[in-house]
Chains A and B, each alone.
Chain A
Amino acid sequence: MTFVAENVVKRFPGVLALDGATLRLEDGTVHALLGENGAGKSTLIKVVTGVYRPDGGRLLISDGPSALREVQFSGPHDSQRAGIGVVHQERNLIPAFSVAENIALQALPQRRGFVSRAAMFELAGRCLDHLDVGLDLHSPVEGLSVAHKQLVEIAKALAVDSSVLLLDEPTASLTTDEAERLFTVVRRLRDHGRAVVLVSHKLEEVFAIADTVTVLRDGRSVTEAQPLRDFTRAQIVDLMVGREYTEVETTSRRVDRSALPVIELEDVSTRAGHRDVSLHVHRGEIVGLYGLVGAGRTELARCILGLDRITAGSVRVNGAPARIRGVTAALHRFRIGYVTENRKEEGLFLDQPISRNVAVTVWRRLARAGLVRSKGERALVEQYREQLGMRIRGPRQLAGELSGGNQQKVSLAKWLAADCDILVIDEPTVGIDVRTKAAFHDLIVKLADTGIAILLITSDLPEMVALADRIAVMKDYVIVGELDNNHRYDTTSQAVIRMIHDGTAA
């Protein structure tokens, strides 16, 4: 069959996520869907799988000989019935159920209300055979490795006889070997006539396995269903990033490296799995920590904050050894702030007013005779509303009502209010439109100019090249390389990508 998502438009409050994106799928192909963070890949997938309803454009299906007809999905169930299967980034399995039952859950073979167990195991077995994978059908899914869980998810999609299979960052938590085995499966699926859509950040994977490619940028398809062999990797990156971006030359900032680093990690190993990580950030410096999903960067930040254990090596703040036991100590004693990557789950209190969201870190300071005055909170909000350009109705507005960009500003304001010396900023511009993104970049540089030491974690390479004074590259929980940033995208991005491919421990 053929499936087309044509000129899809999707709006959210404050953000135009998709602005005419087109995806054209044919049987028997592996189709790569590429784009930078925030380009709209996730949103497009959600429209295709029926999770979101498009505000514009249409979805079309044709079963072989017949003409394309328009379809509408009112929910995930509809898209499944139309033959679209999806394997999301995160696992959606019933932990206590067996492998077979998870696979067959959507289409449980039954007779008069009773589960036909024999038929169920047979169905599950067939799906796994199709993937050429041997798993114990009876074992509960909660005990499986991440890779095996992912295979169960794929088998699930096969159980409902999907003609289209969407894989969203499938190798995010897999080792190279496991990924290789997954791709064998993908090739087999393609050879059996299915259409496989691969969403991935890892270009080497894409070039190894995909036949055709669609590139999204700013919610639009800049390249539609072209044969991948017509492109070089550099050309694809250019398409993803857009020529204009590489033209912008940021001048190198002058950083005073004569004094002791404000924060220094030396040969740090952690319980999370890091080995011999060494990093340092000077006053007023922006050090970027780059890596792909699963590299261990956020986990390192959490260890710095005392949320996970450091098993070897030393952490020094302003030259003195520091045992950071938790976020409270990190903030109030060592003046380290952490702007989290998931602002909704970890950065904001969605049902609380903006004033509380911003002032929560500084109530100690605002309190007079033990009582916190609302006036102080409001003044704080006003200050940052101006400085950051927040578009809010007032300090009493609830944080959950704001657009993504404004929410991120509130999240940042909270840490600015805390007057930190060291700021760890984790993926600051995910899901934020281009204009606000540029404003944030300006802001981060200005913050560094005031003397704050910034550790910037981002997987947005252009953002990294624009902002960082130095870039450390992390892969599989070790640092594989470090370089000074000349702010030239072509050379620096090549160097970084090479470090990720070649590097084991630096």
Chain B
Amino acid sequence: MSATIKDTYARRVRTFARGSESVLITTSVIGFVVLASTTHGNLLTRGTLTAIFQFLAVPVIVGLAQMVVLGVGQMNLSVGVLTGFCSMVAAWLMIRLGVPAWLAVVGAVGVGAMAGLINGVIVVLTRINGFIVTLATMTIIDGLRYGINGTSTFQGYSPSLVRFGKGSSLGVPNVFLVAMAVAALVAVFFRRTVAGRRLLASGGNPLAARLSGVSNDRSIVIAHMISGLLAGVAGVLEVALSGSVNATIGDDLLLPSFAAPIIGGVALAGGVISVLGTCLAAFIMRMVDVARAQYSIDPSWVDVIIGVVVLGAVLLTQLRHRGGGPR
């Protein structure tokens, strides 16, 4: 029996070593060390470290939101603007309706989940390509963000929420802890729950899944709903972290929402996800951002590099799993 356990671990280590996750961890560690040393330790001050991890929380969650639908072979273009919309909803609930913070949080996350559910239902009912459906809903929600408070900013809501958002526990920023907790839940969902395994089955081989009694339609709806829910969580974190929100939140979240899972090794065809990879990729992109600031590099270079890296990552994932999705 012990021999089998040792075999299992040995195999797991081998698979891990070969996988993309190990590449990402190595890159993260090396990158961090290089950055820290070349900036003469500027990086390691409490302020900088806190900022790094605080502003990592939302990209991680948004990346996970995209990852969930990628797992079932879909995509969600509305992830970015939905985050902004949920931020505005939360702020509106607190300021205009005087709702206590915790209830506003629940409300905003609920709105996100509802929007995701609608996305999924439309995709399943109309059988229209998920790209086009979420392109349309993205456009709608884009506009809806401004319907809540026009172009003005919401601020001065719930000091306790903002204190939580800007604060840290045991030296780790609270929002980052929330993001990690969410990541853990998503990981458990895909690894341990029946719904999660079925979702990946639908993404990995819809025909085989169907023949095994899995409902692909249900998988798609669940995936979109979770994606929306996570966008709602991201929106709430924005509210907590920044202390003031306006309708432009989410404008620059769409491309990172794809870049993180793709660089993290998630297959575009569906069926393969990586929570660890997505988080690490988000971390690496954050590192690149920090480096850009530290060395005053033109931000445009960052975009070029990320674009090339995304392409390379897709190629590698394709070679590994022999699946590149539709033409």
Contacts and interface: CB of A to CB of B under 8 A. Distances in A.
- So, do A and B actually touch in the complex, CB under 8 Å? yes
A76 B321 contact: no
A110 interface: yes
Interface in A118-155: 136, 138-139, 142
B193 A97 contact: no
A105 B201 CA distance: 9
A93 B208 CA distance: 6
Nearest to B270: A96
A142 B320 CA distance: 11
Interface in A38-91: 76-77, 80
B11 A138 contact: yes
Contacts of B323: 95
Q: Which of B209, B213, B322 has the most CB of A within 10 A?
A: B213
Given A96-B200, A97-B200, A114 B193 contact: yes
Nearest to A91: B208
B208 A115 contact: no
Q: Which of B8, B208, B321, B323 has the most CB of A within 10 A?
A: B208
B286 interface: no
Contacts of B194: 108, 110, 113-115
Contacts of B214: 105
A113 B195 contact: yes
B204 interface: yes
B213 A106 contact: yes
A94 B271 contact: yes
Contacts of B197: 97, 101, 105, 108, 115
B271 A96 contact: yes
A76 B204 contact: no
A114 B205 contact: no
Interface string B315-327: 0000001110000
A94 B204 contact: yes
Contact of A115 (B11, B192, B207): B192
A113 B205 CA distance: 22
Q: Which of B207, B208, B212 has the most CB of A within 10 A?
A: B212
A503 to B, nearest CB: 35
Contact of A138 (B8, B210, B322): B8
Contacts of B212: 92, 105-106, 156
Q: Which of A76, A77, A108 has the most CB of B within 10 A?
A: A108
A333 B204 CA distance: 42
B86 interface: no
A77 B213 CA distance: 6
B211 interface: yes
B203 to A, nearest CB: 9
Contacts of B61: none
B139 to A, nearest CB: 29
A94 B200 contact: yes
A136 B321 CA distance: 20
Contact of B205 (A95, A106, A139): A95
Contact residues on B (Cβ < 8 Å of other chain), bracket = 20 to 34
A142 B208 contact: no
Contacts of A115: 192-194, 197
Interface in B269-298: 271-272
Nearest to B12: A138
A151 B194 CA distance: 24
Interface in B180-222: 192-195, 197, 200-201, 204-205, 207-214
A139 B208 CA distance: 18
A92 B272 contact: no
A76 B211 contact: yes
A263 B272 CA distance: 47
Contacts of A97: 197, 200-201, 204
B277 to A, nearest CB: 14
B59 to A, nearest CB: 26
Contacts of A95: 204-205, 271, 321, 323
Contacts of B211: 76, 92
Contacts of A92: 205, 207-208, 211-212
A108 B214 CA distance: 11
A101 B211 CA distance: 14
A80 B212 CA distance: 9
A94 B321 CA distance: 12
Nearest to B210: A76
A307 B142 CA distance: 48
Q: Which of A77, A106, A110, A115 has the most CB of B within 10 A?
A: A115
B11 to A, nearest CB: 7
Contacts of B209: 94, 105
A80 B213 contact: yes
20 contacts: A76-B211, A93-B208, A94-B200, A94-B201, A94-B208, A95-B205, A95-B271, A95-B321, A96-B200, A96-B204, A96-B321, A105-B197, A105-B209, A106-B212, A113-B193, A114-B192, A117-B192, A138-B8, A142-B321, A156-B212
Interface of B: 8, 11, 192-195, 197, 200-201, 204-205, 207-214, 271-272, 321-323
**Which 9 residue pairs of A and B lie closest in terms of their CB atoms, listed nearest first?**
A92-B208, A94-B204, A105-B212, A106-B212, A110-B194, A94-B205, A94-B201, A96-B272, A77-B213
Given A80-B213, A105-B214, A115-B192, 10 more contacts: A76-B210, A77-B213, A92-B205, A94-B201, A96-B200, A105-B197, A113-B194, A138-B8, A142-B322, A156-B212
